[in-house]
Amino acid sequence: MSNASHTALDLPDEIARRRTFAIISHPDAGKTTLTEKFLLYGGAIQMAGQVRAKGEARRTRSDFMQMEKDRGISVSASAMSFDFGKYRFNLVDTPGHSDFSEDTYRTLTAVDAAIMVIDGAKGVESQTQKLFEVCRMRDLPILTFCNKMDRESRDTFEIIDEIQENLAIDVTPASWPIGVGRDFVGCYDILNDRLELMDRADRNKVAESVKIDGLDDPRLAEHVPAELLEQLKEELEMARELLPAFDRDAFLEGSMTPIWFGSAINSFGVKELMDGMGDYGPLPQVQTAQPRSISPDEKKVMGFVFKVQANMDPKHRDRVAFVRMASGHFKRGMKLTHVRSKKQMAISNPVLFLASDRELAEEAWAGDIIGIPNHGQLRIGDTLTEGEDIRVTGIPSFAPELLQSVRAGDPMKSKHLEKALMQFAEEGAAKVFKPAIGSGFIVGVVGALQFEVLASRIELEYGLPVRFGQSQFTSARWVTGPKDKVDAFVSINQQHISHDHNGDIVYMTRLQWDIDRVQRDYPELTLSATRELM
Ligand code: GDP
């Protein structure tokens, strides 16, 4: 989504009020807690604690498997919609486990902004940094929430410096913490000249806020102990000199991040962050596509699949394709063209993911995320339109970096295994290759933990014990070119040829030398490490 339109477009109110974003963080920084408070303020859940099961469940590797067993929970939390004041928030969950998968990257193609949560005592951690880099590739606007201010945390300037240096982004304080740890009393809201006081007694209560007329207002002294007030004034003066003021354009371009300080568990600072997302966050953005980009204000409905989740109910082999609406006003029952197959699909039972449950989506606007149950027609990267031949671009596909061979424990179950693997391939959970010669399959992933997750899911969802083992190959390259040249190449390189789940031809080897040789000997062929998702 390009940034050209951030403020230029005149969108219908229903679209203009939508804010679609993800939360990025390192495990344990407080993403689950913050999500929970968002939903609480959004009125989507009655009581904090309902998303907790998920947060706790991802503590350890085996617990992650347990979470995967309980697909219901992880799915209902994949995309959540709720209203906050005049805004409609769509919060898209990034997969929580620490192993990086393509899923994480793709999720970030479906949002217009991200909230980066950091732990006030730990600062920018590895996973945050990685996810930040992905956001940066797309120039996503980022709001920062520095969490756990109720505990001993680093000096405010030090935290801001670390973000500026490690992430090479300008940081502007939207609020300023008063006191640290036990002495933390609240924040000065710089954007609104308000004093926000934290109530330690009631964690689910919205903080008390006191309207202040600048820093000389005598009411400040009524709420803040004298020495803390002194310090606050000094620090704010220094901040004004050393740090840039909030600049909405710089924020929307992704070169500046406003930072709020707070404590998610104490419900503190959360509302201000949500106000920030609503008031300054980007409206639904233009989506890059071929042969032209899609503007959210177009009348015709368009959307694209960024995630597929299968086996949500192990008894029914259904799948849900998560679709980000790119334009128009969708109504349930609409017939949309599935551009890849050129077939029409009646979208009769789309779901909207409300916090605790899924519900039928009667309508959706550009910016919304809907789930479309289907039997496998919808794949990641697919575009749905009202007939126009247009394809959304920029959904990343990653080179499988680790390859392993896989066999069913019981050789008679090979067909069964094939079906399971194809399903995971379509879901985007792994790349699956069927060698032209011999039996068995080769599975390619980006991170090693994915093998374990796959083995566990195949056993759980298909009742099929499997064995992963070393593969004779270490690299996979998709082969494209004129048909006769490809055919000639395939026929004399059979022992290196596989087909992926789409039937596309893949050349496999363990030697870079082989790849160089093919490129030299077959100049008309292209060998690529990824297959572009269109
Ligand atoms: P996630 O892994 O990023 O989803 O983190 P969680 O939301 O599960 O939080 C990790 C841990 O930090 C949990 O034990 C939370 O109770 C705790 N936590 C979250 N927010 C705060 C906070 O504001 N202050 C303190 N002291 N602890 C917090």
> Is residue 285 situated within a structural domain?
no
Q: Which amino acid is at 228?
A: L
**Does residue 65 have a pLDDT over 50?**
no
**Does residue 474 have a pLDDT over 60?**
yes
Element spanning 119, H or E = strand 113-119
Question: How confident is the model over 177-187, as a mean pLDDT?
Answer: 92
> What is the C-alpha end-to-end distance of the chain, expressed in Å?
15
- pLDDT for res 6: 47
The model's pLDDT over 406-441, given as tens digits with 9 standing for 90+, comes to 998 888 888 899 999 988 888 777 899 999 998 889
- Top pLDDT among 15 and 311 is at 15
Is the distance from the beta carbon of residue 150 to the nearest atom of ligand 1 less than 6 Å?
A: yes
**Does residue 446 have a pLDDT over 90?**
no
Nearest by Cα to 466 from 445, 440, 448, 446: 440
**Does residue 50 have a pLDDT over 80?**
no
- pLDDT for res 57: 35
The model's pLDDT over 285-311, given as tens digits with 9 standing for 90+, comes to 999 999 999 999 999 999 999 988 876
Opening angle at CA 212, ends 268 and 183, nearest 5: 45
**Does residue 53 have a pLDDT over 70?**
no
Percentage above 70 pLDDT, the chain: 86
Classify residue 379 by its DSSP letter.
-
Query: What is the extent of the structural domain holding 381?
Result: 292-392
> Is residue 232 situated within a structural domain?
no
- pLDDT for res 268: 92
Local confidence band at 343 (pLDDT 50, 70, 90 cut-offs):
very high
Is the distance from the beta carbon of residue 29 to the nearest atom of ligand 1 less than 6 Å?
A: yes
* 261 and 125 fall within a common domain: yes
Name the residue of 28, 116, 122 whose CB sits within 8 Å of the most ligand 1 atoms, as the mutation to test its pocket.
28
- pLDDT for res 200: 75
The model's pLDDT over 315-336, given as tens digits with 9 standing for 90+, comes to 556 788 999 999 999 999 999 9
By the 8 A CB rule, do 382 and 338 touch?
yes
Contacting residues for 315 by C-beta, under 8 A, at least 6 apart: none
- pLDDT for res 67: 37
Cα of 49 vs centre of ligand 1, distance in Å, is 12
Nearest by Cα to 484 from 521, 532, 522: 522
Cα of 24 vs centre of ligand 1, distance in Å, is 14
> Is residue 50 situated within a structural domain?
yes
Structural domain tally of the chain?
3
Question: How confident is the model over 462-477, as a mean pLDDT?
Answer: 92
Cα of 371 vs centre of ligand 1, distance in Å, is 29
Tracing tokens 């519900």 back to the chain, one arrives at: 359
Classify residue 500 by its DSSP letter.
-
* 305 and 381 fall within a common domain: yes
Percentage above 90 pLDDT, the chain: 58
> Is residue 47 situated within a structural domain?
yes
Question: How confident is the model over 117-125, as a mean pLDDT?
Answer: 96
| Global pTM exceeds 0.90 | no
Question: How confident is the model over 332-346, as a mean pLDDT?
Answer: 95
Nearest by Cα to 474 from 528, 404, 527: 404
Average pLDDT, whole number, for the chain?
A: 86
Question: How confident is the model over 492-515, as a mean pLDDT?
Answer: 94
Neighbours of 482 (CB within 10 A): 10
> Is residue 72 situated within a structural domain?
yes
Q: Name the maximum alpha-carbon separation found in the chain.
A: 86
CATH number of the domain at 30, please.
3.40.50.300
**Does residue 2 have a pLDDT over 50?**
no
Element spanning 25, H or E = strand 18-25
By the 8 A CB rule, do 1 and 112 touch?
yes
What radius of gyration do the chain's Cα atoms show?
Answer: 25
The model's pLDDT over 261-276, given as tens digits with 9 standing for 90+, comes to 999 999 899 999 999 9
Is the distance from the beta carbon of residue 94 to the nearest atom of ligand 1 less than 6 Å?
A: no
Local confidence band at 3 (pLDDT 50, 70, 90 cut-offs):
very low
Which residue has the CA at smallest separation from atom 19 of ligand 1? 30
- pLDDT for res 325: 97
- pLDDT for res 54: 42
Q: How far apart are alpha carbons 92 and 325 in whole angstroms?
A: 13
CATH number of the domain at 402, please.
3.30.70.3280
- pLDDT for res 531: 74
- pLDDT for res 354: 65
- pLDDT for res 94: 79
The model's pLDDT over 206-244, given as tens digits with 9 standing for 90+, comes to 667 778 888 888 988 998 999 999 999 999 999 999 999
Question: How confident is the model over 150-177, as a mean pLDDT?
Answer: 96
Helix pair 449-462, 61-69: axis angle to 10 deg? 30
**φ, ψ dihedrals at 371, nearest 5°:** -105, 135
Classify residue 94 by its DSSP letter.
P
- Top pLDDT among 366 and 96 is at 366
Cα of 85 vs centre of ligand 1, distance in Å, is 26
Using DSSP bridges, classify how beta strands 87-92 and 18-25 pair: parallel, antiparallel or unpaired. Answer: parallel
Record the tokens describing residue 236, joined without a space. Answer: 């704010």
> Is residue 112 situated within a structural domain?
yes
* 346 and 412 fall within a common domain: no
* 59 and 76 fall within a common domain: yes
Q: How far apart are alpha carbons 336 and 282 in whole angstroms?
A: 27
* 378 and 485 fall within a common domain: no
* 402 and 388 fall within a common domain: no
Q: Domain end: 375, 392, 409, which one?
A: 392
Cα 93 to the center of its chain, rounded Å: 6
* 175 and 48 fall within a common domain: yes
> Is residue 5 situated within a structural domain?
no
Q: How far apart are alpha carbons 496 and 436 in whole angstroms?
A: 8
Q: How far apart are alpha carbons 46 and 252 in whole angstroms?
A: 33
Q: Tell me the ipTM for this assembly.
A: 0.99
Is the distance from the beta carbon of residue 26 to the nearest atom of ligand 1 less than 6 Å?
A: no
Is the distance from the beta carbon of residue 151 to the nearest atom of ligand 1 less than 6 Å?
A: yes
Q: Domain end: 280, 301, 329, which one?
A: 280
Q: How far apart are alpha carbons 196 and 267 in whole angstroms?
A: 12
Is the distance from the beta carbon of residue 28 to the nearest atom of ligand 1 less than 6 Å?
A: yes
Record the tokens describing residue 385, joined without a space. Answer: 């339109």
> Is residue 213 situated within a structural domain?
no
* 22 and 78 fall within a common domain: yes
* 463 and 350 fall within a common domain: no
Which residue has the CA at smallest separation from atom 25 of ligand 1? 148
* 401 and 368 fall within a common domain: no
Q: How far apart are alpha carbons 294 and 180 in whole angstroms?
A: 47
Local confidence band at 78 (pLDDT 50, 70, 90 cut-offs):
confident
* 300 and 388 fall within a common domain: yes
Atom of ligand 1 nearest to the CA of 268: 23
Is the distance from the beta carbon of residue 30 to the nearest atom of ligand 1 less than 6 Å?
A: yes
* 111 and 150 fall within a common domain: yes
Atom of ligand 1 nearest to the CA of 266: 23
DSSP sequence for 209-222: EEE-SSTT-THHHH
Q: Domain end: 228, 257, 280, which one?
A: 280
Q: How far apart are alpha carbons 175 and 193 in whole angstroms?
A: 9
